[in-house]
Amino acid sequence: MTSTADDRDQVRDTILANPESFLEDADVMRALIDANEKSMGGNIVDLRGIAMDRLENRLDRLEDTHRSVIAAAYENLAGTNQIHRAVLRMMDPVTFENFLLDLGGDVADILRVDCIRLVLESVQNEEDPAVKKLGDVLAVAEPGFIESYLTRGRATPVRQVTLRQVQPDTDAVYGQSTDYIRSEACLKLDFGQGRLPGMLVLGSEDPHQFTPQQGNDLLAFFAGVFERAMRRWLS
């Protein structure tokens, strides 16, 4: 008994000497509150305890939200850096052929996609030697194909950026890559007055890489840069 009393006095003296350290310990405070509730009995409603439980739940939710916001900010920063690197790489080539070939090489690697294809509407035949030479990245389609591809034949507005999960039912866009593409980002391109539209398609094996719920601001910026680069080459 004497030993127990001495221990109690020692704990009491420690608390009185440094109460702040115990107030900052959530486990200790929770244990004290639980002990207080038990001492009051089951017929007494402790409104203070209920309020503290609610405050703890709100704090947990706020911390989860804070972590989610921080993670989203880092992800957005990483995406911005990725787009900037791809834009800088597109500015390197000094010939149009290398400009297009880099799309399926370094630019695709930077953007971490499995396939990039540039679709141009034209009356020019795909059997043209110049087109066949760039067949891995360039596809030529008849006028009206791009709008039909983006809307799937439905009477819906055509957006500049379309993100979707898809399994292509035609090889007109992806060629031999059609079998493994499961999601895509379609960037509609405006090459200026008097010119037929174009489309830059980023395809991925991952069905979750591009979905309609994702933001598209960075890809819209990338499409704008690509449009301007193409206008200079086409002029």
CATH number, domain with residue 215: 3.30.450.40
193 inside domain: yes
pLDDT score, position 114: 92
Instruction: Indicate whether 70 belongs to any domain.
Output: no
Question: Is 177 a member of any domain?
Answer: yes
Q: What is the mean pLDDT of each run of 10 residues along the chain (235 residues)?
A: 69 77 72 68 58 75 76 73 91 88 90 92 64 73 90 84 84 82 93 89 92 89 92 84
Quick check: is 152 in a domain? yes
How far from 98 is each of 129, 135, 234, CA to CA, in Å?
16, 13, 14
Domain that holds residue 178: 92-234
pLDDT of amino acid 152: 83
Count of structural domains, the chain: 1
With respect to residue 176, please indicate whether it lies within any of the assigned structural domains: yes
What is the spatial order of strands in the sheet that 183-189 belongs to?
A: 138-141, 115-121, 198-204, 183-189, 161-165
Whole-number pLDDT of residue 202: 94
Provide φ and ψ at 114, rounded to 5°: -90, -15
Instruction: Indicate the pTM of the whole model.
Output: 0.66
With respect to residue 71, please indicate whether it lies within any of the assigned structural domains.
Answer: no
Question: Cα separation of 127 and 113, whole Å?
Answer: 27
4 falls within a domain: no
Is 16 within the bounds of a domain?
no
Residue 225 pLDDT: 93
What Cα–Cα distance (Å) separates residue 113 from each residue in 188, 203, 235? 18, 6, 29
CB 115: neighbour CB atoms within 10 A?
A: 23
Contacts of residue 51, Cβ cutoff 8 Å, sequence gap at least 6 = none
Which pLDDT does position 134 carry in this prediction?
66
